[in-house]
């Protein structure tokens, strides 16, 4: 199964900085680069964006990490994937499955 982890993926977490106007600026901090398997899981239109953006779903599998949470993102080359779920499907803490969405405008 390790042979299936054939793609290098960067993991990034949001880094919020409060600004002087009471708002916040979100930058992205690189956390790690890991090996992953990447499976395209489908695509569709995003109605919340007025149908102007396509949503392409991906499933990534990486070795177990306890720190990855929804709201992080994965970088696959120039592509950015928003992590919507991070699940240890069998509870063995061997693999972490990431359900992601790539938005294309």
Which pLDDT belongs to residue 10?
A: 98
Sign of the dihedral through C-alpha 59, 64, 68, 69:
positive
Average pLDDT over residues 24-35: 95
Contact 40, 56 (CB under 8 A): yes
Question: Per-residue pLDDT for 2 more than 60?
Answer: no
17 vs 56, residue with greater confidence: 17
pLDDT in tens, 36-81: 999 987 766 555 555 555 677 999 999 999 999 999 999 999 999 9
Q: What number of other Cβ atoms are within 10 A of residue 36's Cβ? A: 23
Cα–Cα separations (whole angstroms), residue 81 to 46, 64, 76, 84, 99:
15, 19, 7, 9, 9
Hey, what domains does the chain have and what are their CATH numbers?
Answer: 2-104 (2.40.10.270)
Give the confidence band of 104 by pLDDT, cuts at 50, 70, 90.
confident
- The structure's pTM equals 0.80
């Amino acid at each position: 199964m390790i042979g299936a982890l054939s793609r290098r993926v960067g993991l990034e977490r949001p880094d919020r900085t409060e600004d002087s106007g009471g708002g916040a600026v979100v930058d992205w901090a690189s956390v790690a680069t890991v090996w992953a398997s990447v499976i395209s899981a489908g695509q569709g239109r995003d109605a919340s964006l007025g149908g102007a953006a396509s949503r392409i779903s991906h499933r990534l599998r990486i070795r177990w990490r306890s720190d990855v949470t929804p709201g992080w993102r994965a970088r696959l080359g120039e592509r950015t994937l928003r992590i919507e779920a991070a699940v240890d499907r069998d509870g063995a803490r061997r693999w972490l499955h990431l359900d992601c969405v790539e938005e294309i405008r």
